[in-house]
């Protein structure tokens, strides 16, 4: 898909295609559509990021809260979005043993209790060992720093999902 195709989309098509580049936040795609025309893919990505950066902290935390836990109950119930399912599966989180799954669930619960939002990590750039390691490490970070880190991960996930949709090299997005 090239940028001319993106620029030609009506509102409904744009939200259908880009509505989950930020997990379960189609409102962001709805807002970004109003800002077309986009000069290129980089420009499109910047509009998504600028929307996130312009939100007050409550809105930024709201974006994080739209993410399911990694290896959590939604994965077991099969209710993840297609994108999240693919990413968690790619990181090996769909084939965890019981002990590993329970350890991650405990760390996820501790993280949520400490920060008030779920642990978000660009799972596609990770694997099961790194997910646990990162969770344990980030659990100890100061809150303000952790919010910045988590939003950085949301942007990485967004870049990778945009790259998928546009068949671009993620390094160039």
Catalytic residues: 67
| Binding flag, residue 138, ligand GUN (CB under 6 A) | no
CA distances from 126 to 11, 31, 112, 122 (A): 34, 30, 20, 7
| Binding flag, residue 38, ligand GUN (CB under 6 A) | no
Stretch that binds ligand GUN, among 4-12, 65-73, 97-105, 133-141 (CB under 6 A): 65-73
| Binding flag, residue 63, ligand GUN (CB under 6 A) | no
Stretch that binds ligand GUN, among 33-41, 47-55, 109-117, 120-128 (CB under 6 A): 120-128
| Binding flag, residue 122, ligand GUN (CB under 6 A) | yes
Position closest to ligand GUN via CB: 84
Helix (H, G, I), strand (E, B) or coil at 22: coil
C-alpha to C-alpha distance for 118 and 90, rounded to whole angstroms: 20
| Binding flag, residue 66, ligand GUN (CB under 6 A) | no
Q: Are 126 and 153 in contact (CB under 8 A)?
A: no
C-alpha to C-alpha distance for 56 and 45, rounded to whole angstroms: 20
């Amino acid at each position: 898909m090239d940028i001319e195709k993106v620029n030609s989309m009506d509102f409904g098509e744009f939200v259908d295609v880009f509505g989950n580049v930020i997990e379960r936040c189609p409102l962001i795609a709805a807002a970004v559509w109003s800002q077309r025309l986009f000069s290129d893919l980089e420009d499109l990505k910047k509009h998504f990021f600028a929307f996130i950066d312009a939100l007050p902290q409550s809105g930024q935390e709201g974006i994080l809260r739209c993410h399911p836990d990694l290896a959590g109950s939604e994965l077991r119930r099969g209710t993840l979005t297609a994108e999240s399912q693919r990413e968690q599966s790619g990181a090996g989180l769909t084939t965890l043993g019981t002990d590993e799954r329970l350890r991650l669930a405990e760390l996820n619960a501790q993280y949520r209790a400490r920060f008030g939002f779920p642990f978000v990590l660009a799972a596609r750039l990770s694997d099961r060992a790194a997910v646990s390691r990162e969770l344990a490490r980030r659990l100890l970070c100061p809150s303000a720093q952790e919010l910045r880190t988590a939003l950085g991960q949301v942007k990485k996930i967004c870049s990778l999902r945009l790259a998928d949709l546009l068949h671009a090299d993620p390094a160039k997005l």
